[in-house]
Amino acid sequence: MTRRTLQRGKNVPGSGDLRVRLATADDEIPLQSLLSLAGYKLEQAQLDTLRTNKLATAITAGLDAASAGNATPVAEGLMTGLAREASSGPEEVHHCLMATTLPLVAIDRNGAVVGASWSEPPERVIQALITELGTTGSDAMEIYLRGCIGVSRFSAVAVDPSVRGQGLGATLVRTTTKVLRQIGLRDIYGQIRESDQLERFYEQLGFAVLAPGQPLDLSAVFGVARGPVPAPGERLFHRSLSPIT
Ligand SMILES: CC(C)(COP(=O)(O)OP(=O)(O)OC[C@H]1O[C@@H](n2cnc3c(N)ncnc32)[C@H](O)[C@@H]1OP(=O)(O)O)[C@@H](O)C(=O)NCCC(=O)NCCS
């Protein structure tokens, strides 16, 4: 996958004219309403960044670096962006989170947005770890960077009811994992309600659905045995993105 393919879109296999591409500011309204079908509401900082087309900048830079054969594409993409912004403190954290957020939309033959997904760094897990370790300043920033270049939280996927069952949901998940693997992330995970009965959907896509209450160990990302813990009544699903050897 190249930056150009991600931005222009890739056809969904066997679906005719449906395609999946990176979301832009113009997709804001349908994107929000689709994500709300999955119970996900965008926060103001996410919306503001979407409106300026500044989401996923480290991801697209990472795809360029991957095409050029760089060994750590997302890290390079992120560092380039951080250096360009020449900021510090809260702006750096904000840039780190937004630049590694991957919003996708599915488009029909008329250009209408009929599906959406959202994958982002696990901000709460990162913040909890920083608080627990009592880390501040550049040490805290290092934990943010480790999180942003190491792991993504697949927060939501939703497809318009009129086009469900045509492989769009699966393509949104597959495209996300493909891009994140290509730029060198280690892990992707998400959370489902036990009542959603989505185990099969994610298992078919190569994820392991963990037992109710079972936490995920992200020590390979953070260097300490910490990670997300499912809320009551929820289960985590997880997939390692390490290159298949
Ligand atoms: C879940 C959702 C995104 C699936 O989208 P979709 O485009 O219909 O899914 P696909 O056509 O790609 O289905 C892929 C496979 O998963 C299966 N699948 C799809 N939805 C499923 C569900 N709710 N439960 C179990 N399996 C499901 C399909 O049967 C298909 O299997 P097959 O290949 O053996 O036929 C869609 O039903 C939706 O938008 N639901 C509402 C929002 C939601 O609950 N999102 C998930 C939580 S974030």
- Is the alpha carbon torsion for 8, 10, 12, 13 positive or negative? positive
Ligand 1 pocket member 228 (CB < 6 A)? no
What are the chain's domains?
Answer: 3-240 (3.40.630.30)
- Nearest ligand 1 atom to alpha carbon 198: 24
- What pLDDT does residue 87 have? 58
Ligand 1 pocket member 200 (CB < 6 A)? yes
CA distances from 242 to 77, 81, 105, 177, 221 (A): 19, 24, 25, 11, 12
- What pLDDT does residue 12 have? 85
C-alpha 12 to ligand 1 mean position (Å): 15
Angle of helix 137-150 versus helix 123-133 axis, rounded to 10:
150
CA distance 97 to 46: 9
Extended beta strands in 121-233, E state: 151-159, 187-193, 208-209
- What pLDDT does residue 243 have? 66
Q: Which residues contact 193 (CB under 8 A, 6 or more apart)?
A: 233, 234
Residue 29's SS3 state is helix
Amino acid identity at 76: E
Ligand 1 pocket member 170 (CB < 6 A)? yes
Q: What is the pLDDT of residues 200-238, one digit of tens each?
A: 999 999 999 999 999 999 999 999 999 999 999 999 999
Ligand 1 pocket member 159 (CB < 6 A)? yes
Which amino acid residue places its CA nearest to atom 22 of ligand 1? Answer: 198
Q: Which residues in the chain land under pLDDT 70? A: 83, 85-89, 243-245
Ligand 1 pocket member 37 (CB < 6 A)? yes
- What pLDDT does residue 183 have? 94
Ligand 1 pocket member 104 (CB < 6 A)? no
- What pLDDT does residue 15 have? 75
DSSP string, 161-191: GGGTTSSHHHHHHHHHHHHHHHTT--EEEEE
